Structure 1
Amino acid sequence: MKLVVQVKLLPSPQQAAVLEATLRACNRAADHVSQIAFETGVKDRNGLQKLVYADIKAAFGLSAQPAVRVVKKVADAYGALAANLKAGRLGRPSSTRYRRAVGSPVGFRPEAAQPFDDRCLSWQMDARTVSIWTVDGRLRGIRYTGSPDQLKTLAEHRKGESDLVQRDGKWFLVATCDIPDPEVYEPVDWIGVDRGIVNLATTSDGTNYQGRRLSRYRRWQARKRAELQAKRTRSATRRLTRRAKKEQRHATHLNHRISKEIVSVAQRTERGIAVEQLDGIRERVRLRRDQRATLSSWPFHQLGQHLAYKARRAGVPFLEVDPAYTSQRCPRCGHTEWANRSTRDHFSCRRCGLAGPADVVAGVNVRNRARSAWVFVTAPVPAPARTGRNVGRCDP
């Protein structure tokens, strides 16, 4: 499996200035290539490289390999745009967002990340330094730092390109690591995980990870942002900049902690993990205006991603199951009715009388569906029936 490891660069002020000039030159070249791709309709890597390779080397001061990486960066951007349009992530063709996306070339910020391969960037793991190509020549001996786990993963599994990133005046390298997949064991049972807004995750074992603290934190952050925006002073703007993405980092940390605990329990008990497949839920529901911000900030997708990759890294089986009626179906008698869930927190079956916390019941239904789905996933494919005829011969 592929993971990314982010380490922090520690350049001197002179080195930082050269790195910034390099990023700006590469992104100016990317904008130029994107404009040509939009005007000519040539968006594949080989076709674009034939059109612009010589021009961007001469006009933007790029060497051969950085020019190739810029062309690939633009081609990948148009490939991602085409995939998003096909999947409907930018709305219908008649929507303003869709028309804006297809009506202008893809743009690149002056400080957008730039990929470097091993010809442009080399790692000296023992010295914890990197050597990187820049518009002013090769910069050597740029120090980097990271956690012990990050550095160990980087030294053992780094493979492929690395991205140079500038964020809030700081410099980072995001390296791709190819880690071998451990063998997935045969689960003795499953842990069903129900994801929600009030309770971020509830397992079929009854473990509940509440989202009340995260909701309070989001409301507090919204009030602070509103207060600072109302001041309209330079110091308030600086404080808003420092607080940017703080709420997002807090939610990401919470999802890491929850997913790590669930995966460790599954690994210790030799069970698998099953979650609901919630793709497209934001497009399927209609909400009141006061509910839209809550749903938009619900980090269910990130929690699912964390569970998936942590389970894969630990060799824990992972499944996504059909989410239909998991909160309305009785796990004992199978009776499904909207009235079974009398309130948001309470479930009571109208047929057999089974009652309990609604999120736990949903987690149990997810677990039961995973049991059935795993049988079909692991079932051997039956061999085709033998008819007795020679199938390799054409009979008249």
Structure 2
Amino acid sequence: MKLVVQVRLMPDAVQASALECTLRRVNEAACWVSGVALEHGVPREYELRKHTYAELKARGLGAQAAQHTIKKVRDAYTALKANIRAGNLGKPSSKRRVKAESKPIMFRREAAQPYDDRCLSWQYDVGTVSIWTTSGRLRGVRFACSTDALKMLREHRKGESDLIQRGSAFYLIATCEVPETPLNENPAGFTGVDLGIVNIATTSSGYRAAGRALNRHRKRQLDLRRKLQAKGTKSAKRLLKKRNRREQRHAANQNHIISKTIVTTAERTGHGLALEALTGIRDRVRHRKDQRTKLHAWSFHQLGRFIAYKAKKVGMPLVYVDPAYTSQQCSECGHIDRRNRIDQATFACRSCGTVMNADDNASHNIRRKGETVWIAGRESRVPAPT
């Protein structure tokens, strides 16, 4: 399985200037290649190379950097085409789709640039890298990362690494090929995981990750952004830029903690995991205007991805179940009624009288559905011999 490791580069002033100039130069070149691609009907990579390679070399890009720049542009158009085909940019006549199809894709000045082993080499023992720039090869650029990250780089790094800039800091995102653990074909059971806003995650094994602190953090960040945007001064804009991505990083860190706890607990008990298939929930669910911010601030897709790759890493079975009626059905008797859900926190069955926390009830329903899905997927459909 593929994982990525992020390391921070620690360049001196001269090295930092060269890295910044390189990213600016290659992304300006990528914008030019994008315009050529649109002009020629977005041809295949080989044909696009014939139209652009000589000019990229004349602009000071090395052979490998020119190849990667062309490939980066072609991959961007492939992603755009996939989004259009999936309907993510609206109907054919929508303004958003027309704009996306009629204008060339543009790249930010600090957008990521891929490097392969010809352009980038690692010296793990001394903690440095040697990297190509438009000013020449930079040797001895120091990098910093955790001990675990360094170990993964040593043992599993393979393929390309992306150079990115965030503010004044530079990072390398390295791809690692980690061998997969064999799947546990006979789990002792399944743990259901219910996702929500008040409680980010509730499991049928008793773990509950409360969302109160994260929701308070998001509200503080939203209020501060509104104040700074209303003020509109240079210092306010500077502070807004400084705080960029802070909420996103905080939410990602919380999701890593929650997903690790869920997977570790299930692994210790020999269980598999059952999650709700929440794809498209933002399009299906309707909320009042004052509730839409909370809905669209959900990071459940990210949490689900974190749980999925951590489970795959340890060979844990993971199944997705239909979320229909998991909050309305009694986990004891199976009775379904909208009125069973008294409020956000309380579930009271109108048939058997069972009273419990609503999220706990939903997690038990998800667990039961997960076991059914796993058994159904493994049962033989071949008729028994007569």
Question: Residues 62 and 383 of structure 1: is their aligned pair in 2 closer, same or farther, counting only changes over 3 Å?
Answer: farther
Per the alignment, residue 95 of structure 1 pairs with 94
Residue number in structure 2 paired with 1:131: 130
Unaligned runs of 5+ in 2: none
Q: SS of 1:192's equivalent? A: strand
User: In structure 1, how many angstroms separate the alpha carbons of the residues matched to 2:19 and 2:135?
Assistant: 9
What CA deviation, in whole Å up to 9, does each residue of 1:290-342 have, x standing for no partner? 01111110111111011111111122211111111111112233222212212
> Which residue in 1 is equivalent to 2:279?
279
> How far apart are the structure 2 equivalents of 1:383 and 1:111?
60
Are 1:112 and 2:114 counterparts?
Answer: no
Aligned to 1:147: 146
Provide the C-alpha distance between the structure 2 equivalents of 1:72 and 1:250, rounded to a whole number of angstroms: 33
Q: 1:49 to 1:234 in 2, by over 3 A?
A: same
Instruction: Say which SS state the counterpart of residue 5 (structure 1) adopts.
Output: strand
What is aligned with 1:83?
82
Task: Tell me which residue corresponds to 1:172.
Answer: 171
Deviates more, 1:332-341 or 1:61-70: 332-341
The alignment partner of 2:229 has SS state of: helix
Deviates more, 1:177-186 or 1:96-105: 96-105
1:232 and 2:232 are equivalent in the alignment: yes
> Which residue of 2 is the match for residue 326 of structure 1?
326
**Residues 269 and 53 of structure 1: is their aligned pair in 2 closer, same or farther, counting only changes over 3 Å?**
same
- Residue 315 in 1 paired to residue 321 in 2? no
Asked if the contact 1:128–1:144 (Cα under 8 Å) also holds between the matched residues in 2, the reply is yes
CA-to-aligned-CA distance 1:333-356 (integer Å, 9 cap, x gap):
322221221222211222222221
The CA distance in 1 between the partners of 2:381 and 2:116, in whole Å, is 42
What residue identity is the alignment partner of 1:291? Q
Answer whether contact 2:42 2:77 (CA < 8 A) is retained. no
Distance 1:385 1:143 in 2: 68
Q: How does 1:144-223 map to 2 (within 5 A)?
A: 144-185=143-184, 186-223=186-223
**1:207 CA displacement:** 2.2
SS in 1 for 2:222: helix
Alpha-carbon spacing, 1:10–1:351, altered in 2? closer, same or farther (3 Å)? same
CA deviation after TM superposition for structure 1 residue 166, in Å: 0.5
User: Does residue 293 in structure 1 map to residue 287 in structure 2?
Assistant: no
CA distance in 2, matches of 1:330, 1:226: 43
Aligned residue for 2:103, secondary structure, equals coil
Matches of 2:342 and 2:94 in 1, distance apart? 38
Query: For residue 122 of structure 1, what is the aligned residue in structure 2?
Result: 121
- Per-residue deviation, 1:142: 0.8
- Alpha-carbon distance in structure 1 between the residues aligned to 2:250 and 2:70: 36
Normalising by structure 1, what TM-score?
0.93
Distance 1:314 1:117 in 2: 29
TM superposition shift of 1:34: 0.7
Q: Say which SS state the counterpart of residue 173 (structure 1) adopts.
A: strand
Q: Structure 1 residue 45: deviation in Å? A: 1.6
Q: Bigger CA drift: 363-372 or 97-106?
A: 97-106
Q: Which residue of 2 aligns with 1:258?
A: 258
Cα deviations by residue, 1:134-160 (Å, 9 ceiling, x for unpaired) = 112211111111011111111110000
Alignment partner, residue 349 of structure 1: 349
Give the structure 1 partner of residue 57 of structure 2. Answer: 57
Contact 2:152 2:176 in 1 (8 A): yes
Q: Secondary structure at the match of 1:28?
A: helix
Conserved? CA contact 1:9–1:144, under 8 Å: yes
> For the residues of structure 2 that align with 1:303 and 1:71, how far apart are their CA atoms?
33
Q: Work out whether residues 43 and 78 of structure 1, in 8 Å CA contact, stay in contact via their aligned partners in 2.
A: no
Backbone CA RMSD of aligned residues:
1.7
Match for residue 392 of structure 1? none
Letter in 1 for 2:331: P
Amino acid across the alignment from 1:320 = Y
Provide runs of 4+ in structure 1 moved above 6 Å.
383-386
- Closer, same or farther: CA 33–383 of 1 in aligned 2, 3 Å: farther
Assess if the C-alpha contact under 8 Å between 1:205 and 1:360 holds in 2: no
Measure the CA separation in 2 of the matches of 1:90 and 1:109.
21
Aligned pairs (5 A) from 1:362-373: 362-373=362-373
**Deviation for aligned residue 1:225:** 2.1
User: 2:255 & 2:154 partners in 1: Cα distance?
Assistant: 27
The aligned counterpart of 2:14 is 14
